[in-house]
Structure 1
Amino acid sequence: MKRLALPILSLLMLSCGNDPLPKPKGYLRLEYPNANYKKAIVPLPFSFEKNELANPISAVKSTPNSKGVDIKYPALKATIYLTYKEVNNGNLDSLLRDAQNLTQKHTIKADEISSNLYENKTQNVYGMIYEIGGDAASQSQFYVTDSINHFLSGSLYFYAKPNYDSIYPAAEYLKKDIRHIMESVHWKE
């Protein structure tokens, strides 16, 4: 029995030479389709192009002072809310201040807020886009205006508790859509 135990014990000791290693961290890989943009048909005093990944725009919301549409992305669990207001009686300063204040409300949870000017002189479209980093409720906001008649603002929101690491890929994808909306705005006269 001792003769058999020694070879088995030796074999067991040699076969266990490698120490177990922990598995490397896995990262979630989210891939979104390339964006295809198509003109959105909305009964508002402007037109724009939206990503075909978004649902068709089904209704226009209207209040006495504003009109708006929601661009819904069910696959990304997000919505871009657009609000249109007329510029009149010198209210442009008030509209700009309101848009900027809405962005500043996110400073409590935001790690950073960066802003970029947008200007398209040929289409008479001027504005600003704000990109908000961190666990803020909105990851991106913008406004565009012709400074005379039209003012359009927009905000991106997700249908989830803000966790920047989790929504980052979708937020980056939708920021490109927001930039395209801004670039494709055409005021109707």
Structure 2
Amino acid sequence: MRFLSVLFLVLLVFGCSEKHTPKPRGFFRIDFPKKSYSELQGNFPYEFEVPDYATVSANRTNPAEKDWITVEVPANNAQIHFSYYDLQNGSQPARELLIELMEETRSLAYKHSIKATAIDEKIFINRPEKVYGTIYNIHGNAASPMQFFLTDSTKHFLRGAFYISEVPDIDSLRPVINFLEPDVIRMIETTHWK
């Protein structure tokens, strides 16, 4: 009996001497498709290039607005919501409406400042197509990594908001954001008015 007790103690001491370290936290591997683009299909007052792996549908939150669309990338659970305003179709003067919509877009982008670590504003100018705007890059664990508006300052105003329908964890979403941000920039750069 004494021999078994000593053997048990020896095994216990030498068996517990190995150190175990936890495995590092891992993330899912995400395979991205090859980038290719085609012109937006539909009768809208604007046009731009859309990724071929995206689908375009009417905006579900406001179906009465026929020129509001959502560009979805289902594989990444991402959406870019577009809302269009005709600056000359209303009781309000175009200049006042333009200023109001620009301020509303800025306000919507800065609502993410609660979770954002930084918000960068970039001016966008495409003189040949008469497309001007501001791009808001939102850094950190915000729900929307990018928002923007585009206008010709007299008739057209297009607002866009890029969302990923996942818990905002920048570490796990960074690969998806890095893959899709160039697509959003391509949509902005290829925008022209009809």
TM, length-normalised to structure 2? 0.79
Structure 1: distance between partners of 2:172 and 2:52: 23
How many aligned positions are there?
171
User: 1:99: which partner in 2?
Assistant: 105
Task: Structure 2: give runs of 5+ residues left out of the alignment.
Answer: 1-17
1:78 and 2:78 aligned: yes
Q: How far does residue 30 in structure 1 lie from its aligned partner after superposition? A: 3.4
C-alpha RMSD over aligned residues: 2.3
User: 2:149: which partner in 1?
Assistant: 143
Structure 2: distance between partners of 1:161 and 1:48: 29
1:69 and 2:82 aligned: no
Structure 1: distance between partners of 2:47 and 2:182: 18
**Residue 59 of structure 1 aligns to which amino acid in structure 2?**
A
Is 2:45–2:67's contact at 8 Å kept on the other side of the alignment? no
Q: How far does residue 103 in structure 1 lie from its aligned partner after superposition? A: 0.3
1:158 and 2:157 aligned: no
Structure 1: distance between partners of 2:24 and 2:127: 49
Task: Structure 1: give runs of 5+ residues left out of the alignment.
Answer: 1-18
Q: How far does residue 173 in structure 1 lie from its aligned partner after superposition? A: 1.5
User: 2:34: which partner in 1?
Assistant: 34
**Residue 82 of structure 1 aligns to which amino acid in structure 2?**
F
**Change over 3 Å in CA distance of 1:100–1:120 after alignment to 2:** same
1:83 is paired with a residue whose SS is: strand
1:44 is paired with a residue whose SS is: coil
**Residue 127 of structure 1 aligns to which amino acid in structure 2?**
G
1:182 and 2:188 aligned: yes
1:165 is paired with a residue whose SS is: helix
Q: How far does residue 134 in structure 1 lie from its aligned partner after superposition? A: 1.1
User: 1:114: which partner in 2?
Assistant: 120
What's the CA shift string for 1:160-179, capped at 9, x where partnerless? 12111111111122111111
Q: How far does residue 31 in structure 1 lie from its aligned partner after superposition? A: 4.1
Q: How far does residue 34 in structure 1 lie from its aligned partner after superposition? A: 3.0
Is 2:70–2:79's contact at 8 Å kept on the other side of the alignment? yes
Match for 2:174 among 165, 168, 175? 168
Structure 2: distance between partners of 1:58 and 1:81: 10
Once the two structures are aligned, what percentage of the paired residues are identical? 32
Structure 1: distance between partners of 2:84 and 2:133: 14
What's the CA shift string for 1:109-159, capped at 9, x where partnerless? 111111111111001011111111111111110111111100001001111
TM, length-normalised to structure 1? 0.81
Structure 1: distance between partners of 2:155 and 2:163: 27
